[in-house]
Amino acid sequence: MSSSRRIVIMFTIVILIFFKLSFVLLHDSENDNCPYNDERNKYTEGSNRWQHYFDRIAKANKEFELSADCLSESDDPCSACHDRVRADDLTPFSGGITRSMVEQAEAVSRVTKYQIINGKLYRSEDCMFPFRCTGIEHFLLKLLIDHEIPDSEFVVNTRDWPQLHRAVTRDPVPVFSFSKTAQYLDIMYPVWAFWCGGPAISLYPRGLGRWDEHRESLGQAAEAWPWEEKLDLAMFRGSRTSSERDPLVMLSRRCPSIVDAQYTKNQAWKSSKDTLGMEPAQEISLESHCQYKYLFNYRGVAASFRFKHLFLCRSLVFHVGDEWLEFFYPAMRPWIHYIPVPKDADMEELYNLIEFAKEHPDISKKIAESGATFIKENLTMRDVECYWRDLLRQYTELLTYKVVRDPKLKLVKSSPS
């Protein structure tokens, strides 16, 4: 990490600590407008009304003890937690990938074709999002230096949305996409944003990027706000990508002593109507999230780019919806690594989940630590590179033909770090 970036991060942390006391005073009092904070509505041990949450936690722990997802039978230092995802994505192609199938993949709108020939990387002239291709190519070029990768060709979708819906795809076509739901046949790959390419906001004009640097800076922020010193408050900042976020924002307006959730401006913003009737809030850095005990994660257009970052704050992550996936999601377990929230949860259900977490700090801290440990140990930059390595090797083994150099592709050279 550069010295200038370190200075900015430490300055941010100092400023946030300075304002912490006034922030606590502002949010610490009960708000008469909150319809859920009456003592009669609180869940108590005597009434046993939290039991359904306890039951889910007990079931999750029992199933997790029996899980073997992260057990490796080899000496490979890379995490084995994500092997099942790669195997599942390639299963539809177990009969082999023909040249015709790859040509069909190339015909999908605005995709990018890559070839590896004799240890060199080639790419289509057209890349819909150049920074995204740069983020992908960082790992591909590193693979060619550090590992032996056989000649191959593959097609990458750099848009947020996957391309091959099961309802309209008669036969499987090998298209790589970073995110999908169970309704899609796309093959998942580690998103470009582990290195660069998005999403871009005023605080991160070139996109979040540099997962290695965020791991370090968020680790420092987590140390600055250990669990016992974090604000006992839920928090969310983000633009109004979908109405799924509305109940939490409305709960914040009714119950500010429970949650601080505000909409920020996005590129489509025209008036306060686009932020649910209020002026947009200021964007805040990832590091400043770490002062809160409870952090909400919502999907964006597809999977959320911020999901992995939130865990490094060592705060409790509330993950809303389980439909959209990246390659590392399936190895994480609800009630073990995060609190699952139904995507259609209303204000009362959100309030109850937050209250449960607040009333059971030992459980909340344990889940927060478990999630942070998982991400720290199983989603390193090395793990991202290893996923690419094994994906390309296993994919290439399925090709039923010898790859021949496509003269329409250009040689990809290393770009500056």
Q: What is the DSSP letter of 91?
A: G
C-alpha span between 147 and 163 (Å, rounded): 30
* Phi, psi angle pair for 67, to nearest 5°: -75, 140
Where helices occur in 28-97 by DSSP H, the ranges are: 51-66, 83-90
Consecutive H or E run containing 235: strand 231-238
C-alpha span between 227 and 361 (Å, rounded): 9
- Residue 35 burial (CB count, 10 A): 13
Helix, strand, coil abundance in the chain, percent, nearest 5: 40, 15, 45
Q: What crossing angle do the helices spanning 83-90 and 381-397 adopt, rounded to 10°?
A: 30
C-alpha span between 156 and 139 (Å, rounded): 14
Name residue, tokens 């056989």.
150
Handedness of CA 281, 282, 286, 288 (dihedral sign): negative
* Phi, psi angle pair for 308, to nearest 5°: -65, -30
Residue 324 in contact with residue 298, Cβ under 8 Å?
A: no
- Residue 232 burial (CB count, 10 A): 17
Residue 385 in contact with residue 143, Cβ under 8 Å?
A: yes
Contacts of 415 (CB under 8 A, 6+ apart): 134, 137, 138
Helix, strand, or coil (residue 37) = coil
Handedness of CA 60, 343, 239, 230 (dihedral sign): negative
**Which residues are annotated as catalytic?**
160
Residue 165 in contact with residue 184, Cβ under 8 Å?
A: yes
Residue 319 in contact with residue 174, Cβ under 8 Å?
A: no
Amino acid at residue number 362: D
